[in-house]
Homo-oligomer: A and B are copies of this chain.
Amino acid sequence: MKSPRTARPAPRNALYAQSGGVTAVINATAAGVIEACRRHQSRIANLYAGRDGIVGALTEDLIDTGRESAATIRALMHTPSGAFGSARYKLKDLERDLPKYQRLIDVFRAHDIGYFFYNGGNDSMDTALKLSQLGERTGYPVACIGIPKTVDNDLPVTDCCPGFGSVAKYVAVSTLEASLDVASMARTSTRVFILEVMGRHAGWIAAAGGLAARRAGDPPHLILFPEIAFDRERFLARVKEAVERRGFCVVVASEGTRDADGKFLSDMGTRDAFGHVQLGGVAATLARMVKEAHGYKYHWALADYLQRAARHVASKVDVEQAHAVGRAAVELALAGRNAVMPVIRRKSSKPYRWDVTSVAIEAVANKEKMVPRHYITADGFGITAAARRYLEPLIRGEAYPPYRDGIPDYATLRAARVRRRLKTEFKV
């Protein structure tokens, strides 16, 4: 009689790649993937990581995660940004970019990659989906599992996206602290403070600024969402009202703030690899507007990468969810699933309870989840109680990194390279 053990297929290798803008907790997802793979070495022999994400996969520049100690992998839990390197490198549809997809399959075949874990946002889910389709079509079996990651929180189905909770906490804490600063100086100095935050199309990050307020009237006094058409006169009137009533005005503005015609308030004039316009300068534009109309002294801040890299003030819930989706991705792969993505499911808001389930990638690829209208107050400048119920649990808990000599002791990988097997080169 055959034992169930021998009936098992021979172990294959797996590839993990980080994609798109990095976050404070994407490495916690990497830790989840790596630790889960290590627990299943009879099924997954080696886990490789693409150096600089999909670019490493294309160029056959793979990192052997097996060369990293268990302690280093644990340290990824508290290390921000993409430890293996990420990429803004979008693969277009199968017809137009077939040679690239084919190249990926070639690299997979050369390294016996049976499982591909792609950790990114909407665009990356699309790539994972296409790769799984091409795998089926060309007879090379590879389980493509998407893993959600985006500070923008704009993936559908999942209750939230790992990476968002920490940037939300950063923005809420920073808004609170800057507001206290302005409040204490307003009598003789700055009257209006504007914090520009990320969130190209969806206003989730801007909404998080609203969590700085505990009571009605607390700052921020105005939030500008990409979902709400910007109206100069209404904005200026509300700034004036806040200054006259409270002595100062704090504004949290999404970089994607735009007018009724969809025109962005400001625009750096450059485009990234995905063809998205690279935004910036909304705060400066608003500040000039306020100065011209009312003459108030202003200050503004542009947190830029600081907000999404701020592991030092990460949300504990976010870290835990990031790790959980990494672990779940491996479990889905080992359960024989393909073209799926683990998602966070909220079971209750008070007390906050969640688990991880999964969804077909098709349901999330290239789709964006905006802030729903009922999360935004009727006047368009604040968040509702429903939004607070949704957002608050996501920034709960602190998960401080260890410090050495006054700065966080973030992990550094050996990042040992896997020996190349292909003779052909690929130019990115």
List residues of A whose CB falls within 8 A of some B CB: 18, 21-22, 24, 52, 55, 79-89, 169, 172-174, 176-178, 180-185, 187-190, 193, 195, 211-212, 214, 270, 272-273, 297, 299-306, 308-313, 315, 392, 394-398, 400, 403, 405-408, 410, 428
> Which of B79, B178, B188, B190 meets A180, CB within 8 Å?
B79
Q: A180-B79, A189-B273 are in contact. Are A172 and B406 (CB under 8 A)?
A: yes
- Mostly, the A contact residues are mixed
Q: Tell me the complex Cα distance, A185–B410, Å.
A: 17
Residue numbers in B under 8 Å from A306 (CB-CB): 174, 177-178, 195, 301, 303, 306
Contact A189 B272 (CB under 8 A): yes
Q: A397: nearest residue on chain B (CB-CB)?
A: B406
Residue numbers in B under 8 Å from A88 (CB-CB): 185, 188-189
State the Cβ distance, A222 to closest chain B Cβ, in Å: 17
Contact A181 B309 (CB under 8 A): yes
Residue numbers in B under 8 Å from A405 (CB-CB): 211, 214, 392, 396
Q: Tell me the complex Cα distance, A194–B400, Å.
A: 26
Residue numbers in B under 8 Å from A180 (CB-CB): 79-81, 309, 410
Contact B403 A398 (CB under 8 A): yes
Residue numbers in B under 8 Å from A86 (CB-CB): 184-185
Contact A407 B173 (CB under 8 A): yes
> Which of B85, B176, B302, B305 meets A410, CB within 8 Å?
B176
Contact B313 A185 (CB under 8 A): no
A-B contact pairs, 28 of them (CB 8 A): A21-B185, A22-B181, A22-B184, A79-B180, A80-B180, A81-B181, A81-B183, A84-B184, A85-B187, A87-B187, A88-B185, A88-B188, A89-B188, A172-B406, A173-B407, A176-B407, A176-B410, A177-B305, A177-B306, A177-B309, A177-B408, A193-B305, A211-B406, A301-B305, A396-B406, A397-B406, A398-B403, A400-B400
Q: A177-B312, A178-B305, A301-B305 are in contact. Are A406 and B169 (CB under 8 A)?
A: yes
